[in-house]
Structures are given as C-alpha cells and as structure tokens.
Structure 1
Amino acid sequence: MGALAASLVVLAAALTVDVWVYRDAQTRQSRGDTPTVSLGSLRIETPAAWFLGCLILWVVFVPLYLTATGRNPFTR
C-alpha cells in the first residue's frame, strides 16, 4: 500500500469517527443527556462543537468525548 493510500485510509477512519461523535452527541442531546466538557472558559456541549473539535484536534477531543460519555476504556 502506498503512502497516499495509507493516508487516505487514516483520514477516512478519522472522519468516520468524527461523524459518529456528531451523531452520538445529537442522540444524547435529544435524550437530555448532553455530553459536556469545560476547559477553562471553553465549554463544549453541542454536537457541532464536538464535531469541530474532533475534526480540528482529533487526538485530544475524541478521548475527551469518550470520557464525557463514560465510554473511555482507559479510566476503568
């Protein structure tokens, strides 16, 4: 597999996870179980904010989302 193909696979996987975070956050918000994280004055609570955070800084926001929803396997 070439470097370009590998990069595209990683990008597709990251985008798939970002879309999953958005849809999961929407579902939780509609049930009244909004995942929320406060980082100083920054408050992340809308599905769009979670999606943008994951899109821009995936390695930080995906674990934050998993922790905010109680799904983080590293904290068990």
Structure 2
Amino acid sequence: MTGLPPTALVPILVLLLALGIDTWIYADAKERLRQGNPASFSFGSLRIETPQAWFLGSLILWVVFFPLYLTATGRNPFR
C-alpha cells in the first residue's frame, strides 16, 4: 500500500480547521466593523480591534485568540 498513513492526515486536518476558523474570524470581525460594532479586546497597552489584528493573532496563536475572540463578541462558550 502506498500513500500517506492515516495518522499523517491528522495534523493536516487540524491545520485546515485552524485556517478555516482564522478566515471566519477575519470575515466576522470585518462585518462587525462595517456594522459599527467592532470586536474589541484590551489588556494594558495591548488593544485588538481590527479584523487584520484578529486574523494575525489567531494565525500565530490560535489556541489563545479563538476563545478570546468568542468572548470579545459575546459568544462565550464557557458560560
């Protein structure tokens, strides 16, 4: 049998899922900004408001920014 073993597909699927969520975050943040209700988060001097900042943050540190975005938009799944 040739080709990739099934276990090699798991990281690829996780990466595709994360990229899909990052794209959704960007599109949702852009729509919220257009409607005048931007997703905003601040901690000390760090302030995240633009769709580009949300996308870049979630692209670099998805495990932190995805729940943070959900919380900033009122979609807190941890309540």
The TM-score range, normalised by the shorter chain, is: over 0.9
Q: Output the CA distance in 2 between the equivalents of 1:51 and 1:39.
A: 18
Q: Output the CA distance in 2 between the equivalents of 1:34 and 1:23.
A: 12
Secondary structure class of the residue paired with 2:37 = coil
Structure 1: state its 5+ residue gaps.
none
Q: Output the CA distance in 2 between the equivalents of 1:73 and 1:56.
A: 22
Structure 1 residue aligned with 2:17 = 13
Structure 2 residue aligned with 1:47 = 51
Structure 2 residue aligned with 1:56 = 60
Structure 2 residue aligned with 1:25 = 29
Structure 1's consecutive aligned runs of 4 or more residues displaced over 2 angstroms after TM superposition are none
Q: Output the CA distance in 2 between the equivalents of 1:32 and 1:72.
A: 21
Secondary structure class of the residue paired with 2:57 = helix
TM-score (norm: length of structure 2):
0.90
Name the one with the larger helix percent.
Answer: 1
Q: Output the CA distance in 2 between the equivalents of 1:26 and 1:39.
A: 21
Structure with bigger gyration radius: 2
RMSD of equivalent CA atoms:
0.7
Report the number of matched residues. Answer: 74
